Structure 1
Amino acid sequence: MPVSPKPSTRRPARFRVGALAGVAALALAGALVPATASASPEPPIAEIVTSDNVEHIANIPKTQALTNNNSDLAFTGDYAIGGNYDGFTIYDISEPESPVIVTQVLCQGGQGDVSVSGDLLYFSVDYPRADENCGSPAVGVDDPNGFEGIRIFDIADKANPEYVAAVRTDCGSHTNTLVPSKDGTTDYVYVSSYSPSARFPNCQPPHDKISVIEVPVDNPSAAAVVNEPVLFPDGGNPGGTAPNGNRVSATTGCHDITAFVELNIAAGACMGDGIILNIADPANPTVVERIRDDENFAFWHSATFSNDGKKVLFTDELGGGGAATCLESVGDTHGANGFYRLNGHINDHGKGDIRLKFDGYFKIPRHQEPNQNCVAHNGSLIPVKGKDFFVQSWYQGGVSIIDFNNPRKATEIGFFERNPLTNQSLGSGTWSAYYYNGYIYSNDMGQGFDVLKVDDPRLNGAEAVTHDEFNPQNQTKY
């Protein structure tokens, strides 16, 4: 287990229920936890409910090694890498019905957002530690020597990852986005973070920027911050309360960015603003379009482009992920996805322009309980040629499969969710759900790693698309 860096290169009438009890010992041995087919109008506590076209085929509960919240996922070959606030887990998914834990790395720091590039793993540290070493104690945000930023691991040997570098960034790294150079020699990592304070020595206001880390692929130990572009020179959305009572976050940085390198664009979800970036020069991203929706969006959280790059889906993390927002009383446009059409393009020389036109909202139609935190969270496209389907996590709202071919009439066509746990407090559910090589993989904050299989004629053809590597925040054309 590495300790310090070393130099190196959202229910229809029909559904399926599956029991969860008594699975921990089996899952640790790599055994699947099957979903059994039975019918019940009110499934018992802690059981699984799915639409009739979704099957839950496996679960690996969290282990004693990493007991904190699970977070994001990335994929390489036959492996899924699951982030956790205390480190990361590498799963062998060569047999998706029976995933196996290969190794777990304990390296605390909060958030644990992950991206993978060849043999390199980029890992976000968002809570300060005494130094950059794994195992170093937590320190206060007022400690000027506290480390936050990106840790870089070499995962060529999946059973024995090697910690090779650490790069400090202002305000740490809440999320990170891989932006590979077109010649393959360099990785750029866009680091998003927010919420500065005058009492944080390493996170001073105004924090209207992102950090750009340059990583020579053949020499990752030389990784360094090469730019800190200011995206909001006017300070961004000042926040406050809209005329309809919607509370809007002030923009003090970005939450997440998704890059579409082939099209020279990226979409940034930045608290009170949604933006489109020109990334023809990846070391020097510039804002070419900015939008707001103060009547409905509270916190611009993440973004995904359609396969052709002519649409973009932004998510709103109403309530910060810890609130019950999938309630009838909240409505269908608060805490929803917002769809926009892109007009224009950016060429390889960085010339051109982009304009966005609003096209509709989507929110899961399955109202949740008042004790279930539920809001739009991380997801990815399902690769169907010429069509737009999206799989997405909604915390305790579960996993939703969405048809947004007509963004004005986006609909849910499938789902997977768990009923509330006994005495469940707000703060659980699936963080991220992504389609990868024929299956949906979900990282549940409390219940572990889930594998789903979808059988729906609308998605025919998706299984024919395979990836050698997949970072949902780094899109490519299928």
Structure 2
Amino acid sequence: MNWTHSRRTILLASALTLLGCPPPSGPTDPPDASTGGPDASTGYEWDGSYVPLEETGNWSGLGRLSACTFVPGNGACDLSTFDLSACDTDSLVNAGTEGHYLLTSRDEGPAAGDPPFINAIPFKLPTDGGTPLLGNLPMTEEREGNVRLYSNHVSLADGGTRRTALVTCESPQAPEFTGCYAFCRNGRLVSTSTVKSDRLTWRAGESEASGLELVSESRVDIGYPVDIYVTKGHAYVVSVTMVASKPGGLTVFDVSNKAAPVKVKTIQLPGDNYWNGVWAKGDALYVASSTKGVNVFDISNPADPRFVLSAPGDRLYTHTVFVDGNRLYATANSSIALFDITTPLAPVELNRYATHLPYYPHDVFAIGDRLYVNYADMGYEIVDVSNPNDLRTLGNFSYPWQYSHHNAVGTFAGRTISFMGGEGAGEHLRVLDITDPANIVKIGSFQLRAPISIHNMLLVGKKLYVAWYQEGVRVLDVSNPTQPTQVAYYNTWRESDPGRGDYFDGAMGIRIPGDGYIYVVDTSRGLMVLREK
């Protein structure tokens, strides 16, 4: 996914960008359980009552993350920039010296805002004595007693300098640590933050899995795999390009034998290799392209997709796609394009919805005449699409420092309930009563480790299946939507896997086509087929 959180890529110089079912097309295809279905209130009967919850944002009341401070006017970005007098530096003997971490950072600068900006940055301390990485910045390590300073100095073509520094302050509990971050340019202190670490191992008390078991795993050799669609006995995995030497594309697996999927084809197009979303209807496969809009493939022979056309035909950055009935929805630059796909291989554009120019929508969910839009920095939006020539905004849900990312909608006790996931530090699952779109009410929430956020989710009956980046796959019982409860999990993320270290890392794509299996895409491990125990 090639979006940019406007301030998120500036703070800490992380420079990280990325990367969130139709009726059966043949007699062998089971119905896809991931889109709609019967009223989810069958079985356990939630009575529809709730206490409205106040929305206070992701980090209500979060104070400074470390006791260290900054020496006013010191733009050297070395140890002299930091005041460690209030730090318990003796405790740093317990701080970790290797492994993968996420650093939560709190902006402490004069323009930090209220509430201040909170970010999360990957920090990798190699076990082999290699170069530490803060985001994608190589850092040099220095030690003074138990204190560690990690810095990066760059000489610019204009004769100036750019310096980044991270210093440790104390270790409240092994292997975690807190500290301070500074960014300097030409000898001037530009930005300052306090930070605290989270070591990226499995959550305390967890094993590899509970309630889910691994049936098979198959490596994806191209790009950085991010999404999946399963139909016609095949899994279609799309990948984005994270480094030029490893372009993305489409990988096709025959999954007729779930225990041993067979890779049957890979597709890459010249100059068009950042494919972030995928969906299908009948014999048509729709792939979200960062340069061509929606690439349409003919999958009448499911093992051999054939490129047909790009819709709507002009150069568009398309991040995600979604199909509901005879409608295809695609995020298209700073709008959402609506297509008629009565003839699946020949989409006809009907209109575009764009209410927050120049901001980009991230993802959508649709049922009937309602479109539910994750409008990223602009919140969560509900749109009446009954008349494609007259698209009407019905409501919006917003909160401070938001990044609305993905959602699933169902009916519980006669009420329309949305499960909305945000992306970024502190983002989590919010449960919203959207029965009256003009009066959206928060009624529940669920969160794991604060720096790790949700990618994609599917509502199947009364269970919500979540691809949760480094937290792997999580299954929540939402029969009472005011109190989501975890009932199963599978930790797909392992520190030993090759290529680990990005913020957008781990379980990303998830599909449940109704054949008794859960299909997951992990950025390192590729296609993983799971089964509930």
Give the TM-score normalised by the residue count of structure 1. Answer: 0.60
Partner of 1:25 in structure 2? none
Partner of 1:253 in structure 2? 360
1:190 to 329, 332, 341: 329
Letter in 1 for 2:360: G
For residues 231 and 119 of structure 1, the distance between their equivalents in structure 2, rounded to whole angstroms, comes to 33
For residues 383 and 530 of structure 2, the distance between their equivalents in structure 1, rounded to whole angstroms, comes to 34
Q: In the TM superposition, what is the alpha-carbon distance from 1:298 to its structure 2 partner?
A: 2.3
Q: 2:332 matched to 1:217?
A: no
Letter in 2 for 1:433: I
Alignment CA distance shift 1:97-1:125 (3 Å) = same
Deviations 1:49-71 (Å, cap 9, x if unpaired)? Answer: 433321112100123xx2x1111
1:227 to 340, 351, 361: 351
Letter in 2 for 1:112: N
2:408 to 304, 325, 328: 304
Deviations 1:159-202 (Å, cap 9, x if unpaired)? Answer: 22111111245641011122333xxxxxx3222145xxxxxxxx
Q: Residues 388-427 of structure 1: matches in 2 within 5 Å?
A: 388-417=462-491, 418-421=493-496, 424-426=500-502, 427=504
Q: In the TM superposition, what is the alpha-carbon distance from 1:286 to its structure 2 partner?
A: 2.4
Q: In the TM superposition, what is the alpha-carbon distance from 1:283 to its structure 2 partner?
A: 6.0
Alignment CA distance shift 1:420-1:285 (3 Å) = farther
**Identical positions, percent:** 18
Letter in 2 for 1:390: L
Give the match's secondary structure for 2:210: coil
Q: In the TM superposition, what is the alpha-carbon distance from 1:307 to its structure 2 partner?
A: 5.1
Alignment CA distance shift 1:359-1:399 (3 Å) = same
Deviations 1:430-462 (Å, cap 9, x if unpaired)? Answer: 11223232111101112110011112xxxxxxx
Alignment CA distance shift 1:112-1:100 (3 Å) = same
Whether the aligned pair in 2 keeps the contact of 1:169 and 1:225 (CA below 8 Å) is no
1:110 to 258, 270, 274: 274
Whether the aligned pair in 1 keeps the contact of 2:423 and 2:454 (CA below 8 Å) is yes
Whether the aligned pair in 2 keeps the contact of 1:392 and 1:434 (CA below 8 Å) is no
Q: Residues 164-183 of structure 1: matches in 2 within 5 Å?
A: 164-167=308-311, 168=313, 171-181=316-326
Give the match's secondary structure for 2:482: helix
Alignment CA distance shift 1:452-1:282 (3 Å) = farther
Between 409-418 and 165-174, the greater mean CA deviation after superposition:
165-174
Letter in 2 for 1:380: L
Letter in 1 for 2:459: L
Letter in 2 for 1:416: Y
Partner of 1:100 in structure 2? 262
For residues 284 and 170 of structure 1, the distance between their equivalents in structure 2, rounded to whole angstroms, comes to 25
Alignment CA distance shift 1:43-1:149 (3 Å) = closer
Whether the aligned pair in 2 keeps the contact of 1:73 and 1:80 (CA below 8 Å) is yes
Alignment CA distance shift 1:424-1:102 (3 Å) = closer
Alignment CA distance shift 1:451-1:282 (3 Å) = farther
Whether the aligned pair in 1 keeps the contact of 2:214 and 2:530 (CA below 8 Å) is yes
Partner of 1:445 in structure 2? 523
For residues 441 and 359 of structure 2, the distance between their equivalents in structure 1, rounded to whole angstroms, comes to 24
1:343 to 405, 428, 435: 435
For residues 444 and 299 of structure 1, the distance between their equivalents in structure 2, rounded to whole angstroms, comes to 22
For residues 230 and 286 of structure 2, the distance between their equivalents in structure 1, rounded to whole angstroms, comes to 12
Equivalenced residues, count: 314
Letter in 2 for 1:227: N
Whether the aligned pair in 2 keeps the contact of 1:307 and 1:381 (CA below 8 Å) is no
- Larger Rg over CA atoms: 2
Partner of 1:265 in structure 2? 370
Alignment CA distance shift 1:362-1:170 (3 Å) = farther
Q: CA RMSD in A?
A: 2.7
For residues 420 and 316 of structure 2, the distance between their equivalents in structure 1, rounded to whole angstroms, comes to 23
For residues 328 and 507 of structure 2, the distance between their equivalents in structure 1, rounded to whole angstroms, comes to 25
Alignment CA distance shift 1:428-1:150 (3 Å) = same
Alignment CA distance shift 1:286-1:177 (3 Å) = farther
Deviations 1:133-166 (Å, cap 9, x if unpaired)? Answer: xxxxxxxxxxxxxxx3111100101222111111
For residues 380 and 115 of structure 1, the distance between their equivalents in structure 2, rounded to whole angstroms, comes to 14
1:83 to 238, 244, 253: 238
For residues 169 and 286 of structure 1, the distance between their equivalents in structure 2, rounded to whole angstroms, comes to 25
1:154 to 290, 298, 321: 298
Q: In the TM superposition, what is the alpha-carbon distance from 1:229 to its structure 2 partner?
A: 2.8
Letter in 1 for 2:354: V
Q: In the TM superposition, what is the alpha-carbon distance from 1:124 to its structure 2 partner?
A: 0.9
Deviations 1:372-424 (Å, cap 9, x if unpaired)? Answer: x83101121233xxxx2111111121111112223332221111113223683
Partner of 1:350 in structure 2? none
Q: 2:420 matched to 1:314?
A: yes
For residues 164 and 156 of structure 1, the distance between their equivalents in structure 2, rounded to whole angstroms, comes to 12
Unaligned runs of 5+ in 1: 1-41, 129-147, 182-187, 195-206, 236-250, 319-324, 326-333, 345-352, 456-478
For residues 210 and 424 of structure 1, the distance between their equivalents in structure 2, rounded to whole angstroms, comes to 32
For residues 177 and 285 of structure 1, the distance between their equivalents in structure 2, rounded to whole angstroms, comes to 17
For residues 465 and 310 of structure 2, the distance between their equivalents in structure 1, rounded to whole angstroms, comes to 33
Deviations 1:95-133 (Å, cap 9, x if unpaired)? Answer: 22222223222234313311100000111111x3xxxxx
2:442 to 358, 367, 375: 358
Q: 2:228 matched to 1:73?
A: yes
Partner of 2:217 in structure 1? 59
